[in-house]
Amino acid sequence: MTNSEQNIPALIVQIILAIIMLAVAFEITTADIKALPKMWKRLLLGYVMQITFLPAFMLLMLIVINPRINIVMAFLLLSACPGGNLSQLFVIRSKGNIGISMGLSFLSTLFSPITVGGIFYLATHANSAWIQAYKNLELPLGNILNTLITSIFIPLVIGIWMSSQAGAGWTRTRELIQKSVPWLLISLLIGACWSFRESLSGIDSLMLFMVMGISTGCFITAYFFTRLITRDYSTSVTIAWEVSIQNSGLGMVLGLVYFAHIPEVSLVCALWGIWQMVMGVIVSSLIGKFVHKYPIMNS
């Protein structure tokens, strides 16, 4: 394929991600930010787990499974992405702590321009074969940083500011942007499939097993690990969701723009996004019913 056929134009992709991030930021208010210091211990635990637990869990699984190198790069990049906004929905359905969830989403997004590149670099240097693969990528780190700042950080700041603005006009604008998000996500997924339509045959049972197994296994492990530390259900289930739900949309964008020659990156991120929606709805529903039936567990 020619360069123009390899991916969706970078500018369009980044604009879509920025609009989605803007809509997510509408849910974070200045009051939420001011409340962060009051729960700093749980936020610190959650944030440290966000940037270490999934990458470490992913590394272990990749070493055990030992898939081909392109799959390794795809999963390592995904593990470096910040938390996804779907986590808040699943936290609510699971009777978790929405304050901690919002705080962790804010922190992971705020620092993502630094953590994404840093985590990906460290993870790819955990194995000598991976180091060479990383060098072969010749990633334009400066351009990736600019993408993260313009598509994630700036929309976050603008969105928080817009959420504080009163008036019918501002309310209508926020509603229109939020209503556009599902359609933007669908268009992003369709665009990714179209761009890599020749590579869709590369989706095999191992890739599907890894997406479902790692995501689900990470959630379960993170929950019991946090429960062991905090002895608190709501904190544990919240952190478990925040750790296991990644911003797969960002992974798709980075894959389309900077990993066009490795279609597995966008494919893995797209599959992860689909599966985490399915897993999230099913698991959060079951957990919510269980906690409601046995309230003694919610303590």
For the ranges 74-88, 198-212, 224-238, the lowest mean pLDDT is seen at 198-212
Average pLDDT over residues 143-172: 88
Let me know: does 63 contact 198? Beta carbons within 8 Å: no
- Cα separations (Å) of 177 from 26, 159, 163, 196? 10, 11, 12, 28
- Cα separations (Å) of 188 from 17, 45, 48, 97, 248? 9, 33, 30, 30, 11
Q: What letter represents residue 283's amino acid?
A: V
pLDDT at 298 over 70: no
pLDDT at 4 over 90: no
> 264: which 2 tokens?
């597995």
Q: What is the pLDDT of residue 1?
A: 42
Q: What is the pLDDT of residue 296?
A: 45
Q: Write down the pTM of the prediction.
A: 0.83
Domain edges within the chain: 3-297
pLDDT digits (tens, 9 = 90+) for 108-128: 988 999 999 999 999 999 888
d(CA 122, CA 58): 13
pLDDT at 138 over 60: yes
Note the Cα 38 to chain centre separation in Å. 25
Average pLDDT over residues 71-75: 93
Question: In CATH, which of 1.20.1530.20, 3.40.50.300, 2.60.40.10, 3.30.470.20 is domain 3-297?
Answer: 1.20.1530.20
Q: What is the pLDDT of residue 253?
A: 80
Let me know: does 31 contact 102? Beta carbons within 8 Å: no
Average pLDDT over residues 237-251: 89
d(CA 120, CA 141): 11
> 180: which 2 tokens?
């556009």
For the ranges 17-31, 55-69, 144-158, 267-281, the lowest mean pLDDT is seen at 17-31
Q: What is the pLDDT of residue 16?
A: 83
pLDDT at 285 over 90: no
pLDDT at 84 over 50: yes
Q: What is the pLDDT of residue 26?
A: 85
Average pLDDT over residues 46-60: 92
